[in-house]
Amino acid sequence: MEIKTYLNEQRLVVEGALEKYMPAAEVENGLFSVHIEAMRYSLFAGGKRIRPILCLAAGEAVGARPSLETDLLPIACALECIHTYSLIHDDLPAMDNDDLRRGKPTSHKLYGEAGAILAGDGLLTWAFDLLSNSEKSKLLPEKRLAIIHLIARAAGSLGMVGGQLLDICHENKEFPFETLRAIHRNKTGALITASILAGGIAAGADQAQREALRRYGEQVGLAFQIVDDLLNATSTTAQLGKAAGSDACRGKATYPGFFGIEATRQKAGAAVAEAESALNIFDAKADPLRAIARYILTRSH
């Protein structure tokens, strides 16, 4: 399997589905066109689509059936909506105050702060609209409710939103490594793990499979965050599409800040190895998940 080809193909599948599932600027006679344009701008401003792709790959790992992709895509797209909303709000002047994201102006630079806050609010709410839309899914209602609850818990105050506030509160402060772990686990890890578990649950994962997917998700999320820290510390702005070195400027604690570059690379490698070992109970259908874990590591070099 050529991982880059796979990721590219899956990215296009996700983007096609997003195009289909998002409201068009023309709905309601264009009443909401500016707002919908703002949501679409951030949603289609690039991005690796890693959460939706992990969701699809976890579904594949548990077992394919003809309608699986159709059932998974609304979930995958909802996850991307939530991720995008979190980036829009994180970039706001009151938070990280970033002007660039993926090499393009951030939402508030184009739509103003109010427009950006509402674009984020709209995307978050649309995620739950999509997850609960019975025209879009043939999954059993019980399963869909479990998936909604899993995602809401991971995205909310006891997960991503809580992690973002922790992150902000600890800028320019000394704190122990355990706090950095808690920030990562909540701010980025929780939604990544939920993306993988949601795909597994939709595909009918049993208890042992769910547990394996959870362990895989936690380690992949950790590796992902460590590599993000590494890239921020070692890349140029042009390579990154956002301000390089911004973590250090802002007094954000990072893995390289605690352990240095080399030991941090080793920790990323260890997390990926643990992620792979969590998948031992799966057969070759989990190869995409395995390849994604290894691919995350290559981004750090």
Residues that bind a copy of itself (CB under 8 A): 23, 27-28, 31-32, 34-36, 39, 89, 92, 94-95, 112-115, 117-118, 120-122, 124-126, 128-129, 131-134, 140-142, 144-146, 148-149, 152-153, 155-158, 161-162, 164-166, 168-169, 182, 186
Residue type, 51: R
**Nearer to a copy of itself (CB atom), residue 11 or residue 170:** 170
In whole angstroms, what is the distance from residue 223 CA to residue 283 CA?
A: 23
Q: Which two tokens stand for residue 119?
A: 């674009």
Cross-strand partners of 101: 104
In whole angstroms, what is the distance from residue 136 CA to residue 166 CA?
A: 36
Cross-strand partners of 100: 105
Rounded to a whole number of angstroms, the minimum distance from the CB of residue 297 to a copy of itself is: 29
**Nearer to a copy of itself (CB atom), residue 115 or residue 288:** 115
Please give the torsion angle defined by the CA atoms of residues 225, 231, 234 and 240, in that order, rounded to the nearest 10 degrees. Answer: -150
Q: Which two tokens stand for residue 40?
A: 């679409």
Rounded to a whole number of angstroms, the minimum distance from the CB of residue 171 to a copy of itself is: 10
**Nearer to a copy of itself (CB atom), residue 125 or residue 277:** 125
**Nearer to a copy of itself (CB atom), residue 195 or residue 300:** 195
**Nearer to a copy of itself (CB atom), residue 156 or residue 241:** 156
Please give the torsion angle defined by the CA atoms of residues 126, 39, 10 and 291, in that order, rounded to the nearest 10 degrees. Answer: -90
Rounded to a whole number of angstroms, the minimum distance from the CB of residue 35 to a copy of itself is: 5
Rounded to a whole number of angstroms, the minimum distance from the CB of residue 299 to a copy of itself is: 28
Rounded to a whole number of angstroms, the minimum distance from the CB of residue 115 to a copy of itself is: 7
In whole angstroms, what is the distance from residue 52 CA to residue 48 CA?
A: 9
Rounded to a whole number of angstroms, the minimum distance from the CB of residue 222 to a copy of itself is: 18
In whole angstroms, what is the distance from residue 237 CA to residue 145 CA?
A: 41
**Nearer to a copy of itself (CB atom), residue 253 or residue 292:** 253
